[in-house]
Amino acid sequence: MSELSAAPPAGRARGRIEGGPASGTTGVTPGRPRNGWTLVLAGLGAFMSALDVVVVATALPTLQTQLGASLADLEWTINAYSLAFGCLMLTGAALGDRFGRRRMYVLGLIVFVLGSALAALSPGAGTLIAARVVQGAGAAMLVPLTLTLISDAFPAEKRGAAIGIWGGITGLGVAAGPVVGGAIVQGLSWQWIFWINVPVGLAVAALSARRLRESRGPRPQLDITGMALAGIALFMLTWAPVRAPSAGWGSAEVIGAFAAGTVFLAGFLAWERRAPYPMLPLAYFRRRGFATANAVIFFQFISLIGSLFFITQLFQIGLGYSPLQAGLRILVWMATPMLVAPVAGALADKIGNRPFMVAGLVMQAAGLGWLAAVAEPRVGYGTLVAPLIIAGVGVSMCFPTVANAVTSSVPPSDVGVAAGTNNALNALGGVFGVAILAAVFAAHGSYASPASFIQGFRPAEWTAAAVAAAGVVAAVLAPSKHQLLDG
């Protein structure tokens, strides 16, 4: 479903980055890969991952009924995926750099397919949640490598347009999710939202093994200590918000998880400063483009994934639509990345990423705030269309330009590291988003009736709007196109 005055623009990175290896890609076959195949196959991997998140969100009310799932179970159905996805993202990018990006991309697809099959065969909520962990682990390998493969295939002056098309393909997955999910759940069964991944994933894996060029990053060995410290830190920092709605934000478990995550994160940062081949050169965070893009995606995904969790349920539980009817009505929100992202990506090559990030977050905040203001029992669908479109256009403007900004902030050889960091933060943001909005929802409403659901929905969406508005600060601090060229 899911940016420097100090930094040279993409394609002009020079020399060594402090704390990291020299720029340049090792183990790469001479010549540029076939761009069309790279864009299609990498885009399909992102499409599958995005489709899966939205399809599962659409099926939540059905899972609640057929599996007897509680609110906590529904949260875990989303968060188990995000937990594995976020914790293993940097590891997936590092494995691709060390053992081959094509090889690890194909392996990620296979693991994702395996998790999908296990999810389809799940007899209850517990096994479904475990299967979602496997899916998340596969996605952690394949998703950051989609950007790496595309960035390696296209020159700097065309990369923004290519990433915009990648965002459009991802947007197609997001747009198709509610309709596909609704049609499958209503016409077949919820299990088929997972079975559909199996033939598609195997076909993409087979084609990728044949058509993509192999490449590796510049590090001759894995940073095992860094991988372990980062994995534990991210696990603890995601476990805390996942458990907070059930255990309480002030509980010993949640506070202890936050504290442990902070300690391991500090250990990771200390280790990366002296590691001979760090998995994440910390000097990148001194670049405005890299730091601000990662901050933007974190705030955006708190707002976006938290909203997705509740908006899909609003149409079914709060307003009484069937899964397919709900999917069709959400399409005005979810289809916008397919239409807007390619345009935003192409224009960003000419005028810079910052205007789109700022405007995107402003529109996302405005749309979600408007939605919160007008949501009420028996509200007409026509009243909801405009805020959904505005929020969707905002997301669509921000999504590809953040990806373009973060990957253009580092040398071409370290695009995998940049993409892994960015995706880890958007996954962490998604976990926080579901947890925070679920806590706000539970404090004001419940699933007892449509009216009580909407009583909780409105303050939850106001919270999502406020978080998106807070992200505008980071977007404003991003470098302009002029500053990039001067750098």
Q: Which tokens sit at 238?
A: 């995601």
* Residue 131 CB coordination number (10 Å): 23
Q: Please give the pLDDT value at position 220.
A: 63
* Residue 16 DSSP SS3: strand
Overall pTM surpassing 0.75 (yes/no): no
- DSSP 8-state class, residue 346: H
Q: Exposed (0-12), middle (13-18) or buried (19+): which is 166, by Cβ within 10 Å? A: buried
Cα 238 from Cα 310, distance rounded (Å): 20
* Residue 20 DSSP SS3: coil
Q: Please give the pLDDT value at position 69.
A: 66
Greatest extent of the chain over all pairs of C-alpha atoms, in Å = 62
Q: Which amino acid is at 348?
A: A
Averages of pLDDT over each 10 residues, the chain, 487 residues: 35 36 39 64 78 73 72 73 76 77 88 91 82 88 78 66 69 66 73 84 87 72 80 82 77 91 91 81 83 90 86 84 78 76 78 88 94 88 91 86 82 74 79 84 85 91 94 87 50
- DSSP 8-state class, residue 214: P
Q: Residue 442's Cα: distance from chain center in Å? A: 25
C-alpha dihedral (389, 390, 393, 398), degrees to nearest 10: -150
Q: Please give the pLDDT value at position 7.
A: 33
- Find all residues with CB under 8 Å of 238, minimum gap 6, and list them: 79, 82, 83, 86, 87, 427, 428, 431
Q: Exposed (0-12), middle (13-18) or buried (19+): which is 117, by Cβ within 10 Å? A: middle
Q: Please give the pLDDT value at position 373.
A: 92
Distance (Å) of CA 276 to CA 111, 271, 330: 31, 10, 49
Cα 355 from Cα 394, distance rounded (Å): 11
Q: Residue 9's Cα: distance from chain center in Å? A: 24
* Residue 5 DSSP SS3: coil
Cα 368 from Cα 364, distance rounded (Å): 6
| β-sheet bridge partners, residue 22 | 16
Distance (Å) of CA 421 to CA 131, 403, 410: 24, 11, 12
